A and B are shown apart, each in its own frame.
Chain A
Amino acid sequence: MTAINEFSVAIQRRFGRQKIRKFVLGSIPFILLIVLWHMNSIFLVFEPVEIPPIADVWGAIFWLQSDCPGVFAAIEGHNGCQLTNHVSSSVGRVILAMVVGVPLGIGFGILAGMNRVISAYLEPIGVFMNSVSGIAWIPLAIVWFGVGWETTLFIMLNTIFWLLFFNTMMGVRAVPKVLVQGVQTMGGSKLDVILQVYLPGSMTSIITGLRMSMGFGWRALIAAEMIGGDSGLGFMIFVSAQEFKTEEVFLGVILISIIFLATDRWLLVPLEKWTIERWGLVWKPT
Chain B
Amino acid sequence: MTTVDVAPHRRKSLRKTITDSRAIQLVILLIGVLVLWAIISATIDRPDRYLPSPLTTLFSSVDLLEKGVLISFYTDTLTRLVIGSAVGIALGIPFGLLLGLNRNIADMFYPLMNFFQSVSGIAIFPVIVIWFGNSNTTVMIVILYTSFFPIAFNVLSGVRSVPMRYISAARTLGASRFQIIKDVLLPGAMPSVAIGSRLSIGFAWRAVIAGEMLAGQAGLGNMIFAGQELDNTAQILLGMMLIGLTWIMLDHYLLRPLESDTIERWGLVQK
Residues of A within 8 A of B (CB): 21-22, 25-30, 33, 49-50, 117, 120-121, 124-125, 127-129, 131-133, 135-140, 142-144, 184, 187-191, 218-219, 222-223, 226-227, 234, 237-238, 240-241, 244, 246, 249-250, 252-253, 256-257, 260-261, 264
How far in angstroms is the closest Cβ of chain A from B249? 9
Bound together, the chains give a CA A121 to CA B114 distance in angstroms of 38
What's the Cα separation between A137 and B227 when bound, in Å?
12
Q: Say yes or no for B112: interface residue by CB 8 A criterion.
A: yes
Measured between C-beta atoms, what is the minimum distance from A151 to chain B in Å? 11
Cβ A138 vs Cβ B248 within 8 A: no
Known A132-B240, A136-B221, A136-B224; judge A253-B233 contact (CB<8 A): no
Chain B stretch 4-58: residues in CB contact (< 8 A) with chain A: 19, 22, 25-26, 28-29, 32-33, 49-50
What would 10 more interface pairs be, CB under 8 Å, given A30-B111, A143-B228, A249-B127? Answer: A117-B19, A121-B32, A132-B247, A138-B213, A140-B228, A219-B206, A223-B213, A226-B122, A253-B126, A256-B119
| Residue from A26, A49, A139 whose CB has the most chain B CB atoms within 10 Å | A139
Docked Cα-Cα span, A29 to B99, in Å, equals: 14
Decide: B228 and A125 in contact? CB cutoff 8 A.
no
Is B258 an interface residue, CB under 8 A from the partner? Answer: no
Indicate if the CB atoms of A187 and B2 lie closer than 8 Å. yes
Q: Select the residue from B22, B240, B245 with max chain A CB neighbours within 10 A.
A: B240
Could you tell me which B residues sit within 8 Å of A by CB distance?
1-2, 19, 22, 25-26, 28-29, 32-33, 49-50, 104, 107-112, 114-115, 118-120, 122-127, 129-131, 205-206, 209-210, 213-214, 221, 224-225, 227-228, 233, 236-237, 239-240, 243-245, 247-248, 251
Count A-B contacts at CB 8 Å.
Answer: 153
Q: A190-B1, A261-B118 are in contact. Are A131 and B247 (CB under 8 A)?
A: yes
B107 touches A25 (CB 8 A): yes
Residues in A with CB closer than 8 Å to B50 are 143-144
CB distance A241 to B213 under 8 Å? no
Assess whether B120 is in contact with A140, with CB atoms less than 8 Å apart: no
Expressed in whole angstroms, the minimum distance between the Cβ of B116 and any Cβ of chain A is: 8
Report how far A33 CA is from B119 CA in the complex, Å: 16
A139 B228 Cβ-Cβ under 8 A: yes
Separation in Å of the B141 CB from the closest CB of chain A?
Answer: 14
Bound-state Cα–Cα, A127 to B122, Å: 23
- Which residues of B sit under 8 angstroms from A264, Cβ to Cβ? 118
Q: Is the CB of A139 within 8 A of B248?
A: no
Bound together, the chains give a CA A188 to CA B130 distance in angstroms of 62
Q: A124-B26, A135-B206 are in contact. Are A257 and B213 (CB under 8 A)?
A: no
Q: List chain B residues, Cβ under 8 A from A131.
A: 243-245, 247-248, 251
For B236, the chain A residues whose CB sits under 8 A away are 139-140, 143
The 8 Å CB contact of A28, one of B108, B209, B225, is B108
CB distance from A31 to the nearest CB of B (A): 11
